[in-house]
């Protein structure tokens, strides 16, 4: 097993937490999220498998985005914003979590839904996260292109301008990678949390996590390296191939280090990505994803979603089958997203 112990853990933890404390924050989630064993699924894969349960963050059916929103909406509160504006895919977990956080904080929420997935059903457009957003009182818009981050952000700007003309004070959560990665701060804090759960000795050979916007992936990776922990973090590509995703991860890591006013502690060979289960593309069901969802549910009673956790578990299974994981004791980071499963009810069982 890899030695996940930290050098000078107390000093490094104190320094990193002090850097995080320089940013405004609102408390939204239930922490620390549990780390649970998955013995039956692990045995089927020949692994000592564990799961970090960020599906248990509590607010609005939970998920990893609650950690990000604590920092985004901390800024919004400091700016006296009364409205939050965000963009994402039709079945975005981030937009659903934002609607929940806005409701809790007494803010209005305006959500732009992008057409990232082709040939979808009526259930996809009305169920799952969309249903929850409507229940929470969000105002929904549509954006016709799914791979146009700059255009989606411009459209958000137009929504925000209209809201200002109506007398509101909107806070915009941008999509493109040319904005500071405030959300990733939540996962630097999550890395501190994980290290704290094990008192400075993280007992895993590898961590497997979904890599999409890359903020979750980068926050955990930079946080662990900033604490002196060398456990590998493998990102499973859910939106871009490994080449494109590696470029995004590099950029966002440097952006995050700059935001924290620290040297980037992540080496080039720390950036591990796997795109072997990416096809047929973002948000599209596949046989490996169906299998991962079914196996995890039937063996452990643990529910995954088709877009992020189902795909990242499918990637973990593919790597295990090929003998390509860094050892046998593996931590799977469950980023939540289960509400999206109900928008795929007509395809998830095959």
The tens digit of pLDDT for each residue in 248-301 reads 999 999 999 999 999 999 999 999 999 999 999 999 999 999 999 999 999 999
Q: What is the mean pLDDT of residues 87-109?
A: 98
Q: Is-same-fold flag (9-62+181-343; 66-173)?
A: yes
Q: What is the mean pLDDT of residues 50-60?
A: 98
pLDDT band at residue 111, thresholds of 50, 70 and 90? Answer: very high
Q: Please give the pLDDT value at position 6.
A: 54
> Which pLDDT value is given to residue 8?
56
Average pLDDT over residues 122-140: 97
Output the pLDDT for position 4: 54
pLDDT averaged over every residue in the chain:
96
Average pLDDT over residues 133-151: 96
**Lookup result for tokens 């998920």:** 63
Higher pLDDT, 146 or 329: 329
Q: What's the CA dihedral at 288, 289, 292, 297 to 10 degrees?
A: -150
Looking at the chain, which runs of residues are DSSP E strands?
A: 35-37, 48-53, 83-89, 108-114, 139-143, 170-173, 206-211, 233-237, 272-274, 329-334
Fold of 9-62+181-343: Rossmann fold (3.40.50)
**Position 348 confidence tier, pLDDT thresholds 50, 70, 90:** confident
CA distance 177 to 160: 19
Distance CA 180, CA 321 (A): 38
Averaged over 191-208, what is the pLDDT? 96
Question: Could you tell me the fold of the domain covering 66-173?
Answer: Rossmann fold (3.40.50)
**Beta-carbon count within 10 A of 258 CB:** 13
Does residue 121 sit in helix, strand or coil?
coil
Confidence at residue 347, expressed as pLDDT on a 0 to 100 scale: 84
Q: What are the residue ranges spanned by the domains of the chain?
A: 9-62+181-343, 66-173
| Direct distance between the N- and C-terminal alpha carbons of the chain, in angstroms, rounded to an integer | 37
Give alpha helix (H) positions in 107-211: 122-126, 128-135, 149-165, 185-197
Q: Residue 350: its pLDDT value, please?
A: 65
Percent of the chain with pLDDT strictly greater than 90:
94
> Distance of CA 251 to CAs 177, 238, 288, Å?
8, 18, 30
| pLDDT higher than 60, residue 327 | yes
Q: Catalytic: which of 7, 92, 126, 286?
A: 92
Q: In this structure, are residues 71 and 320 in contact, taking their beta carbons and an 8 Å threshold?
A: no
pTM: 0.96
> Does residue 286 have an active-site annotation?
no
* Tokens at 47, concatenated: 């692994």
């Amino acid at each position: 097993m890899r030695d996940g112990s930290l050098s000078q853990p107390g000093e490094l933890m104190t320094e990193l937490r002090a850097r995080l404390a320089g940013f405004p924050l609102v408390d939204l989630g239930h922490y620390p999220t549990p780390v649970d064993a998955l013995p039956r699924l692990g045995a089927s894969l020949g692994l000592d498998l564990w799961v970090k349960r960020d599906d248990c963050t509590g607010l609005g059916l939970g998920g990893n985005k609650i950690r990000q929103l604590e920092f985004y909406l901390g800024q919004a509160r400091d700016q006296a914003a009364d409205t939050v504006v965000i963009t994402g895919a039709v079945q975005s977990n981030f937009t659903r979590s934002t609607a929940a956080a806005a409701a809790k904080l007494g803010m209005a929420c305006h959500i732009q839904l992008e057409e990232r997935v082709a040939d979808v059903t009526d259930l996809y457009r009305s169920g799952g996260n969309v249903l929850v957003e409507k229940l929470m009182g969000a105002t929904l818009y549509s954006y016709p292109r799914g791979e146009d981050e700059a255009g989606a952000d411009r459209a958000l700007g137009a929504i925000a301008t209209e809201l200002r003309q109506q007398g509101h004070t909107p806070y915009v959560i941008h999509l493109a990678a040319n904005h500071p990665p405030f959300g990733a701060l939540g996962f630097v804090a999550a890395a501190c949390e994980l290290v704290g759960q094990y008192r400075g000795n993280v007992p895993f050979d590898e961590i497997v996590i979904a890599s999409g916007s890359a903020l979750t992936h980068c926050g955990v990776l930079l946080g662990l390296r900033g604490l002196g922990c060398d456990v590998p973090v493998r990102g499973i590509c859910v939106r871009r191939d490994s080449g494109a995703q590696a470029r995004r991860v590099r950029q966002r890591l440097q952006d995050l280090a700059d935001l924290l006013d620290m040297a980037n502690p992540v080496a080039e060979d720390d950036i591990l990505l796997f795109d072997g289960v990416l096809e047929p593309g973002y948000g599209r069901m596949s046989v490996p994803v169906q299998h991962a969802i079914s196996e995890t549910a039937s063996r452990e009673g643990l529910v995954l979603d088709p877009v992020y956790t189902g795909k990242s578990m499918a990637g973990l299974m593919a790597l295990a089958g090929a003998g390509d994981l860094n050892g046998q004791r593996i931590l799977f980071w469950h980023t939540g997203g289960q509400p999206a499963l109900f928008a795929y009810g007509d395809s998830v069982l095959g």
